[in-house]
Amino acid sequence: RSLLAARARYQAAALQTELLKLQHQLEDNEAKRRDTERARADLALANEALQRKVAEVQSLQAALREQATLDALTGLFNRRHLNDTLPAMQALALRDKRPLAAVVIDLDKFKAVNDTHGHPAGDCLLADFGRLLRAQLRRSDMAFRYGGEEFCLLLPNTTAAAARSKVEGLLATWRAQRFSFEGGTLDSQSFSAGVADTVGVPTAPAALLYAADNQLLAAKRAGRSRVQALMTLDGDTMTDSRPPASFAEFQADATAQGFDEVVVREWEPDQVLQTHSHTFQVKAWVVRGEFALTSGGNTRRLRAGDGFELEPGTPHAESYGSEGATFWVARRHVKASASTAPAAESATSPAP
């Protein structure tokens, strides 16, 4: 009996020890569970904090993008965004064989407004003009503050003629408005605008803005408060293979095709010309200015006999006083040389 009792006591002690171990394990597991829950709670809090930080960063990035692409005063895109956007829009237009029109606008006599009424009045005009553009343009159109009181529009799937009509409507609306600012009011205002499209200029993005900007200069020289467009029409070409015998013959030829004015500065045979993608020697009489300058108030460009058009050159025909001319245009002929170019032709050309 004593042996059995001793064995029972031993077994009871062993069970007690095992129970204590199990109890300690349960306590350890409970502690680990609580630690895990606390860790999960801490992780959830950390995730929430991280999400808030990500949202803050995204909001800051959006604000920075807006600051980088938008003009704060007018709410329009800025010039930096124009430089980033134009190449892609022009490439898309060329790929799809659809015109892209560019318009450069300058608010007339804006400096006088600032000098007379102060910068608050000028800021009022700029902000109101931004609102006008945002209200009147299509969703696909893009408006930019080009700098100071200058603005630029990019109008997809729009010819220079259609863009001119659209901008003339904007001009009429702008003239009809009256403007109030702190301390006074402003009477009717106006703007000048130049228009060009991808049909009438070389493929380089800079050439499109260059062409529109030169039309703007022509509009200013013509008295401001108007829209000047560079338009290239299929009928406005002169492709005969021989050079005219004289300037008078050339002028008669142009007049017969319906052009109102012909401006020629001087003849230059065998001149090497640089285009946007080629350098070649033109066996032709090259005219500084433009052949058949204007028709119906629109500046026209003439193609060479092979259909090739030259990009803008310097100096412009405006330097010679021919209002509206913005490009050097060469007419290519099969046969011409220095010996056949009449020395007196320059003298018979219209005076600058």
Q: Cite the active site residues.
A: 149
Alpha carbon distance 307, 126 (integer Å): 42
Domain limit, last residue, from 69, 87, 111: 69
- Average pLDDT of span 145-174: 93
Residue found under tokens 């050097």: 328
What CATH number did the domain enclosing 83 receive? 3.30.70.270
Residues 182 and 256 in one domain: no
Residues 116 and 256 in one domain: no
Q: Contact at 8 Å (CB) between 334 and 242?
A: yes
Poorest-confidence range of 35-39, 96-100, 220-224, 299-303? Answer: 299-303
pLDDT digits (tens, 9 = 90+) for 15-32: 888 888 888 888 888 889
Residue 333 has pLDDT above 50, yes or no: no
| Domain boundaries, position 104 | 79-231
Alpha carbon distance 199, 221 (integer Å): 25
- State the pLDDT at residue 200: 61
Domain limit, last residue, from 26, 41, 69: 69
Residue type, 110: F
Q: Mapping DSSP to helix (H, G, I), strand (E, B) and coil, where does residue 144 land? A: strand
User: Could you say which DSSP state residue 311 is in?
Assistant: P
CA 147 to chain centre: 12
Residues 58 and 86 in one domain: no
Peptide bond into 315 cis (omega under 30): yes
Residues 259 and 216 in one domain: no
Residues 173 and 97 in one domain: yes
Peptide bond into 244 cis (omega under 30): no
Q: What is the 3-state secondary structure (H, E, C) of 217-252?
A: HHHHHCCCCCEEEEECCCCCCCCCCCCCCCHHHHHH
